[in-house]
Amino acid sequence: MNNITIYNICKLLMRHDNYLIFTHENPDADTIGSCFALVETLRSLGKTAYPVCCDRIPSSLMFMTEGVRDFKLENIPEGFVPAYHIATDVASAAQLGIYRDMAKDIQLALDHHATHDRFAEYYFVDPRASACAEIVYHIINRLLIGEIPERTASLLYAALAADTGGFRYANTTPVTHKIAAKLIERGACHADICRNLFECKSKTALAAEAFAMANVTYFCGGKISYVKITGADKRAHGFEDEDTYDVINAIRRADGVKIAIFAREKDDGSYKISTRSSCDIDVAKICAIFGGGGHAGAAGCSVTPDEVDAAVARIIKECGFDD
């Protein structure tokens, strides 16, 4: 699913100046790591580059952005005229969030979603890549002739580790491990990164997970786990949206669970439904019924409050379990 090679991407990046590099909405470690590693690399090559993120960086991922939370367009110095727009880990124009109208300006999309909708002029999409950061690694490694600095290596390592659940998910490949090894050789602080990603959590995030485990419902003889967190629940317990990002991983752990479904009311009143599959059921296809997408093992969609219960019932039915 490519119309440009890594070699030609590198030639193109050397040719231009003044870059804007976009993450997807509700940014995760892969989109942040891919975007910021590319920004650092272009700057080290004497170019001007800024990251753009439509939503605030979750506090749990601020270790990747040196404590800065806001990377909106209005934070970019006045007078900067972008000449080249890149999107990292963004599968569709809608995933640019409030910047979706700028999708027509994106000249290059780097992505690993099988559902990528080719909104950019040039796209390099490898659904076998465990993380977008694998693709970005190949580009940066070529641009810097292997001399990847420590901070860039750490950004890419965090992206890889997060999208593979700490190199545990089915998307982890020998290539993933080889790249991770190279990044550790280049100084990536893997132990600190993994503690930040997988162990250290805010007390409200831990409370949100406890709430989810107390309210989870199992369907189809325990093969499906489901929990909903409403806006009222969030207000009653003081949960921020970002406190609930790991709830889906908490409810998928129970023995026998093949599919996990988590519906949360967002601050704008709509519901985000997240799904995870640890069997051969492709949840991206099921989420596509509701205009969503993602990967076979991890996907999501957004629905209105009126639709959420029926949508979850339909997702459960689409899984096709007998009981």
Cβ proximity of 137 and 179 under 8 Å: yes
Our CA angle for 277, 202, 254, nearest 5°, is 30
Does the footprint of Mn ion cover residue 40 (CB under 5 A)? no
Cβ proximity of 123 and 107 under 8 Å: no
Residue 190's nearest CA partner among 216, 218, 206, 167 is 167
- CB 91 to Mn ion: min, Å: 9
Cβ proximity of 218 and 254 under 8 Å: yes
Q: Which stretch binds Mn ion (CB under 5 A): 127-135, 191-199, 203-211, 258-266?
A: 127-135
Does the footprint of Mn ion cover residue 126 (CB under 5 A)? no
Q: Which stretch binds Mn ion (CB under 5 A): 25-33, 58-66, 225-233, 302-310?
A: 25-33
Sequence-distant (6+) residues with CB within 8 A of 25 are 54, 55, 95, 96, 97, 98
- CB 132 to Mn ion: min, Å: 5
Our CA angle for 221, 224, 226, nearest 5°, is 125
Does the footprint of Mn ion cover residue 163 (CB under 5 A)? yes
- CB 298 to Mn ion: min, Å: 9
Joined tokens for residue 63: 């270790």
How far apart, in whole angstroms, are the C-alpha atoms of residue 303 and residue 291?
A: 9
Does the footprint of Mn ion cover residue 30 (CB under 5 A)? yes
- CB 126 to Mn ion: min, Å: 11
Task: Tell me the one-letter amino acid at 273.
Answer: I
Give me the residue whose beta carbon is nearest to Mn ion.
30
Sequence-distant (6+) residues with CB within 8 A of 134 are 112, 126, 160, 175, 176, 179
**Residue with smaller CB distance to Mn ion, 106 or 220:** 106
Does the footprint of Mn ion cover residue 89 (CB under 5 A)? yes
Q: Which stretch binds Mn ion (CB under 5 A): 7-15, 125-133, 172-180, 295-303?
A: 125-133
Total of chain residues touching Mn ion, rule CB under 5 A:
4
Does the footprint of Mn ion cover residue 134 (CB under 5 A)? no
**Residue with smaller CB distance to Mn ion, 90 or 273:** 90
**Residue with smaller CB distance to Mn ion, 159 or 247:** 159
Binding-site ranges for Mn ion (CB under 5 A): 30, 89, 132, 163
